[in-house]
Amino acid sequence: MKVSRRSFLKTASATAILPNIITSHTWANKPSETINIGFIGVGKQSSGHLNFFLGQKDCRVVSVAEVAKVRLDDAINRVAKKYGANHDCKATVDFRNTLSDKRVDAVVIGTPDHWHAIPSIMAAEAKKDVYCEKPLTVTIRAALETLKAARKNEIVYQVGSQQRTEFGGHFRKAVECIRNGRIGKVTKIKIGVGAPGIPCDLPTEKKPEGIDWDMWLGPAPMREFNSILCPTNIHGHFPQWRRYREYAGGKLSDMGAHHYDIAKWAMDIDETGPVKIIPPKTGINGLKMIYADGLEIIHQSTKDPFNDVIFYGDEGTLYVDRRGITANPKSAASSPFNSKDWRLPHIGPSHRRNWIDCIRSRKRPVADVSFGAHTSILCSLANHGYQLRREMNWDPQKYEFPGDKEANALIDRPGRGQWKLA
């Protein structure tokens, strides 16, 4: 992981778009073999992933890493309930033990966002395929390094942007409508998600036994324990570390990783970025990102029930969220597609299953690491705009703010102790 930002930027653009077939693995020649999976983090979201993969006949969970003993024990108990007392699933606090386990073919990363990049890069270097929750990373540099490692090591890397596959197909249909010109040329898109990240100001609490707090922090700055960041039980809620800049990007990144992803997919701009970021002077709404062709993507949360992604074209408007899709005129969404229309390829019954299928075929998954990296970068750019409160220019080929030292300082973070990208 000792890679300088300068040396990486020389290859970043070249590694983003590569052939659709990944050639380094033998799974395509052994379709009947079981895929052994390791888990890194088993909180609220990853707990659901664990249930899913325990239910897949062609997969077996063989390792679980988790910093909270109560959640680690619970995960192992669920494995034992499925496989029996002789399950041979290894339990560990340190994810490196999962990555060094030669039985593990692929890993599911469900940690807080600040812990996505380093395990991803280490997994790639160990030639293990990866399913990682969204957003891909907290920083732009981390997104680029993760992409580079995945490409260099030719792994199948799926990001958990499951709106590309699930939720009734509403988002897939929206993409097809936009790509087929149902509302004409789209010049503006509104993304209705929450606030950007804020500095963490939570008070210190006494750390209970059974939590490796130093490992939870990892590359993040040292601070004392707080249970809002790391719950002490088997929790059924999404912990609010996601609000804080040190660990995530606020609701803007948390849900923006879904909705910005759909916007750029629909516009066929999955592997590029804007050229200008224009934040509001105050408030937590209204930031604009402008693309070279004039397209505006606006962060604007409203009370409109269809506000998650709104496309504005010169012939109409299209609204989509997880409940459905509608348009003005209505026919833009309701009219059936014909044989000449552009359609997305069939990808299987679920997002996680698409990853398993691609592990076997060595094809790129529907939410490939490059798409996730560029969505993550988009969320970071928006957060940086709100943080600096001024207009910024962005070079989407060089991945930098030209001549802007203050903004460029936000691209990377120093890490902590042994947990550094360089």
**Any idea what DSSP says for residue 337?**
P
Name every residue whose Cβ is closer than 8 Å to that of residue 394 and which is 6 or more positions away in sequence.
Answer: 273, 274, 275, 276, 277, 381, 400, 401
- Which tokens in the block code for residue 141? 């540099």
Residue 117 lies in a domain: no
Amino acid letter, 321: D
392: number of CA atoms within 13 Å, CB side?
31
Q: Under DSSP, is residue 41 helix (H, G, I), strand (E, B) or coil?
A: coil
The span from the CA of 250 to the CA of 85, in Å, is 41
Residue 267 lies in a domain: yes
pLDDT band of residue 390 (cuts 50, 70, 90) is very high
Structural contact between residues 110 and 43, judged by C-beta atoms closer than 8 angstroms? yes
Entry field: residues in the chain: 422
- Which tokens in the block code for residue 28? 């395509």
pLDDT band of residue 18 (cuts 50, 70, 90) is low
Average pLDDT, the chain: 94
Residue 131 in this model has a pLDDT that exceeds 60: yes
The span from the CA of 270 to the CA of 184, in Å, is 20
- Which tokens in the block code for residue 316? 């109409």
Give the pLDDT score at 1: 46
The span from the CA of 36 to the CA of 245, in Å, is 34
Give the pLDDT score at 3: 45
Ordered DSSP codes for 208-219: PTTB-HHHHHTT
* pTM for this prediction: 0.94
| Pick from 237-246, 305-314, 332-341: least confident | 305-314
Residue 308 lies in a domain: yes
pLDDT exceeding 70 applies to what percent of the chain?
91
Amino acid letter, 334: S
188: containing domain: 168-196+249-341+377-399
Could you give the number of structural domains in the chain? 1
The span from the CA of 372 to the CA of 364, in Å, is 12
Arithmetic mean of pLDDT, 381-399: 99
pLDDT digits (tens, 9 = 90+) for 154-186: 999 999 999 999 999 999 999 999 999 999 999
Residue 72 lies in a domain: no
Angle 72-75-246 (CA atoms, 0-180°, nearest 5)? 55
Identify the sign of the CA torsion 348, 352, 354, 357: negative
Residue 307 in this model has a pLDDT that exceeds 90: no
Strands 276-278 and 324-328, bridge-based pairing: unpaired
Residue 388 lies in a domain: yes
Residue 86 in this model has a pLDDT that exceeds 70: yes
Residue 309 lies in a domain: yes
Identify the sign of the CA torsion 118, 124, 128, 132: positive
Residue 38 lies in a domain: no
Give the pLDDT score at 356: 98
The span from the CA of 269 to the CA of 309, in Å, is 16
- Domain containing 189 — which CATH number? 3.30.360.10
Residue 288 lies in a domain: yes
Q: Under DSSP, is residue 313 helix (H, G, I), strand (E, B) or coil?
A: strand
Q: Under DSSP, is residue 126 helix (H, G, I), strand (E, B) or coil?
A: coil
- Which tokens in the block code for residue 208? 């209970």
